[in-house]
């Protein structure tokens, strides 16, 4: 049923990786500024980083489901905004914005009385395939996030040591 081009998933992962790296770079810079000038609070710095990481995670999952639903629509499956909303809710526990769903999946002139022809079996098969893809994506994202966290923790410690040594040695 759903056979997306592998490059779509690779692009999602690449974009996610860039967003994760950017979040940790921001955190590292903010922590170094805190150590140097006392600006900010470590808890709020970590909180902002966590928020950036969470947002990147949600965007990546949403993008995967959205791409898959578009591909199915292009293959002839009657994906309506309601079908998309149900898939999003069941697969990732979040809804799709109504305006985004309408812009992507609405058919001009179609009313709510004209229900989708997607059967419960079609929807179950679609969701089963997508559920496995979402699970695989989450595993891959977790690996990227943990690797980035470890890398930037090491870089931050090294930069903080350098900064402390520079202060001790003076100009």
Crossing angle for the helix pair 81-92 and 120-169, nearest 10 degrees? 60
Q: Looking at the domain assignment, is residue 89 inside a domain?
A: yes
- The three-point CA angle 36-42-47 to 5° equals 135
Q: What is the pLDDT of residues 2-37, one digit of tens each?
A: 555 567 888 999 999 999 999 999 999 998 898 888
- Would you place residue 171 in the very low, low, confident or very high pLDDT band (cuts 50, 70, 90)? low
Domain that holds residue 107: 6-169
pLDDT in tens, 104-113: 998 888 877 7
With respect to residue 129, please indicate whether it lies within any of the assigned structural domains.
yes
Position 161 scores a pLDDT of: 87
Question: Average pLDDT, stretch 134-148?
Answer: 95
Q: Using CB atoms within 10 Å of the CB of residue 171, give its burial: 0 to 12 exposed, 13 to 18 middle, 19+ buried.
A: exposed
Copy the structure tokens of residue 76. 């002839």
With respect to residue 87, please indicate whether it lies within any of the assigned structural domains: yes
Is residue 144 a part of any domain in this protein?
A: yes
40 pLDDT above the threshold of 90: no
pLDDT at 5: 52
Is pLDDT above 80 for 59? yes
pTM listed for this prediction: 0.83
Q: Does residue 1 lie within any of the structural domains?
A: no
**Total number of domains constituting the chain:** 1
């Amino acid at each position: 049923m759903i056979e997306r081009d592998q490059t779509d998933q690779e692009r999602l992962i690449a974009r996610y990786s860039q967003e994760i790296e950017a979040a940790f770079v921001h955190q590292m810079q903010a922590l170094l500024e805190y150590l140097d000038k006392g600006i900010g609070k470590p808890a709020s710095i970590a909180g902002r980083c966590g928020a950036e990481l969470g947002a990147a995670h949600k965007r990546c999952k949403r993008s995967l489901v959205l791409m898959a639903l578009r591909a199915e629509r292009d293959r002839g499956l009657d994906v309506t905004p309601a079908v998309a909303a149900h898939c999003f809710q069941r697969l990732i526990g979040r809804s799709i914005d109504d305006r985004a769903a309408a812009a992507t999946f609405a058919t001009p002139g179609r009313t709510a009385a004209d229900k989708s022809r997607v059967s419960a079996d079609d929807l179950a098969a679609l969701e089963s395939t997508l559920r496995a893809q979402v699970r695989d994506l989450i595993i891959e994202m977790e690996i990227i996030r943990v690797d980035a966290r470890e890398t930037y923790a090491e870089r931050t410690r090294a930069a903080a040591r350098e900064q402390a040594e520079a202060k001790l040695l003076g100009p």
